[in-house]
Amino acid sequence: MFSKILIANRGEIAVRIMKTCKKLGIQTVAVYSEADEHSPHVKLADEAYYIGGPRVHESYLNLEKIMQVAKEAKADAIHPGYGLLSENTSFAARCEEEGIVFIGPSKEVITKMGSKIESRKAMMEAGVPVVPGITTAIPTVEEAIAIANQIGYPVMLKASSGGGGIGMQVVDTEQTLVQAFESNQTRAKNFFGNGEMYIEKLITDAHHIEIQVLADAHGNTVYLWERECSVQRRNQKVIEEASSPFLDEATRHAMGEVAVKAAKSLGYVNAGTIEFLVDHEKNFYFLEMNTRLQVEHPVTEEITGLDLVEQQIRIAEGHPLSFTQAEIARNGHALEARIYAEDPKTFFPSPGKIHTLDLPEHVRIDHCLEEGITITPFYDPMIAKVIVHGATREDAIAKLQQALQETKIEGIKTNISMLLSVLEDETFQSGVYTTSFVQQQLIKK
């Protein structure tokens, strides 16, 4: 059993992990930057250590400093949360070298799945359906043009090491591809240290549906149903729900079984997510695997009754899963809305001081907010997640609408009005929306 866990993250996910640790009687260690000195995640932890300046490379991406703190605090394990170092092979390797458990999969799996090109190869070898495309990096724009002409427009240009929509662009003409290739390659180099690009066929009017898997070190792997993540702006998720209103039972089970097959082919251990694109005929194609906890994991917790952070910790401690696939429930419907500190029309970040904070108490809200706290420009603008559970999808939508209407965050701009517009839209309420929904039906209005 772990007695002390360092959380190598910040904000709402750090608070979320700490709450489970406290429930399990495990002490917590926080790390914080200069900008986060007064953050609630620092106050909630049993111990807290300053690790550097406000920019992520000075603090939350400072692998050596975080390892130094972990050794000084005598932490048994490190939970990376999501983003930051959560899918960093070097970080997982250093934990192994120092004898500190990394709460996640092995460094080998992180490496393979961290490259979209290598992950495509691995899934093809495992017999998992993938989006038509290539399995090698494209060094020049001339080669990109030749490949796009072969595949046929429209195509999706992607950074191999990308994430969060960075280094990704839909391309529908040769002229657009010429303009997009260099700019996205440069962005990928700047954000991920890797400018490798590849191209795959664009699946139009697609649903973005992901399968949550859990795998222990004893050969047991299960899927915890799916999450519909098709409400996106700039390839970034905004509202997620479980279960998907689009899938039928046969497709749902087929996707779950393929996700388990994919995880087993990798020798995967811990929590992970297989993301798929699903076309209008319910054909599904592997998109990528996230070797970490997802931002939207709460909707899975709400319909299954499982604490995914607790499961991660138990697996990392060496315990076998305490349930079988047949025992995993799927009760009711859950929705999550991400609140961003951003202008709801332009999507530009809106840092500043929160003067008024009034959050509803009748629903789950994962956050790291207080009145008087300053939202800085240094980190991702997501500041809270509102999660609801209802007996039916209609019930859950009504609860989320009420919760967002009751949420008061003043002093900064937020996207709450945009979230309410989504929930009120007839297409969303019908459950047949796709990844083009926000762009086609909200932004153009």
Q: State yes or no: cis peptide before 436, omega within 30 of 0.
A: no
188 and 215, same domain (yes or no): no
Pick from 194, 25, 6: which is nearest to 95 by CA?
A: 6
* 116 falls within a domain: no
Q: Any idea what the CATH number is for the domain that residue 323 is in? A: 3.30.470.20
* 108 falls within a domain: no
Q: Which residues pair with 426 in a beta bridge?
A: none
Which member of 10, 292, 314, 338 is catalytic?
Answer: 292
262 and 304, same domain (yes or no): yes
On the CB side of 29, CA atoms within 13 Å amount to 24
99 and 167, same domain (yes or no): no
* 125 falls within a domain: no
Alpha helical stretches, state H, 50-130: 63-72, 89-98, 107-114, 116-125
Residue 205 CA to residue 91 CA, distance in Å, equals 37
pLDDT at position 226 is 98
| pLDDT over 90 percentage in the chain | 78
* 174 falls within a domain: yes
Pick from 136, 143, 91, 133: which is nearest to 115 by CA?
A: 136
Helix (H, G, I), strand (E, B) or coil at 326: helix
CB-count exposure of residue 75 (10 Å: 0-12, 13-18, 19+): buried
Q: Which of 14-23, 130-139, 377-386 has the lowest mean pLDDT?
A: 130-139
* 119 falls within a domain: no
Residue 406 CA to residue 420 CA, distance in Å, equals 12
Residue 58 CA to residue 203 CA, distance in Å, equals 39
Residue 314 a catalytic site member: no
Q: How confident is the model at residue 193 (pLDDT cuts 50, 70, 90)?
A: confident
Indicate the residue among 145, 176, 201 that finishes a domain. Answer: 201
**Tokens, residue 207:** 């649903």
* 435 falls within a domain: yes
Amino acid at 72: E
Q: Which of 28-37, 122-131, 296-305 has the lowest mean pLDDT?
A: 122-131
pLDDT at position 111 is 95
348 and 416, same domain (yes or no): yes
27 and 75, same domain (yes or no): yes
- The boundaries of the domain holding residue 194 are 132-201
pTM for this entry: 0.91
Q: How confident is the model at residue 444 (pLDDT cuts 50, 70, 90)?
A: low
Q: How confident is the model at residue 371 (pLDDT cuts 50, 70, 90)?
A: very high
Indicate the residue among 201, 218, 244 that finishes a domain. Answer: 201
Examine the pLDDT at 411 and tell me if it is beyond 70.
yes
| Residue-wise pLDDT tens digits, 148-158 | 898 889 988 88
Pick from 225, 234, 229, 214: which is nearest to 287 by CA?
A: 229
What secondary structure does DSSP assign to 187-250, as a single string?
A: HHHHHHS---EEEEE--TT-EEEEEEEEE-TTS-EEEEEEEEEEEEETTEEEEEEES-SS--HH
Q: How many domains is the chain partitioned into structurally?
A: 3
161 and 287, same domain (yes or no): no
pLDDT at position 443 is 61
Q: Any idea what the CATH number is for the domain that residue 169 is in? A: 3.30.1490.20
* 121 falls within a domain: no
| Residue-wise pLDDT tens digits, 390-400 | 999 999 999 99
**The 77-79 sheet, strands edge to edge:** 47-52, 27-33, 4-7, 77-79, 101-102
* 76 falls within a domain: yes
Examine the pLDDT at 194 and tell me if it is beyond 90.
no
311 and 370, same domain (yes or no): yes
Q: Any idea what the CATH number is for the domain that residue 73 is in? A: 3.40.50.20
Q: How confident is the model at residue 131 (pLDDT cuts 50, 70, 90)?
A: confident
| Residue-wise pLDDT tens digits, 320-342 | 999 999 999 999 999 999 999 99
306 and 328, same domain (yes or no): yes
Indicate the residue among 178, 201, 224 that finishes a domain. Answer: 201
pLDDT at position 134 is 78
Task: State which H helix or E strand residue 149 sits in.
Answer: helix 141-151
| Residue-wise pLDDT tens digits, 269-295 | 999 999 999 999 999 999 999 999 999
Examine the pLDDT at 255 and tell me if it is beyond 90.
yes
82 and 151, same domain (yes or no): no
Pick from 64, 74, 334: which is nearest to 224 by CA?
A: 334
Q: Give the chain's mean pLDDT.
A: 94
273 and 366, same domain (yes or no): yes
pLDDT at position 162 is 66
- From its phi and psi, is residue 30 left (phi > 0), alpha (psi between -120 and 50) or beta? beta
| Residue-wise pLDDT tens digits, 42-69 | 999 999 999 999 999 999 999 999 999 9
Helix (H, G, I), strand (E, B) or coil at 308: helix
Length of the chain: 445
Amino acid at 305: G
293 and 435, same domain (yes or no): yes
On the CB side of 308, CA atoms within 13 Å amount to 28
171 and 217, same domain (yes or no): no
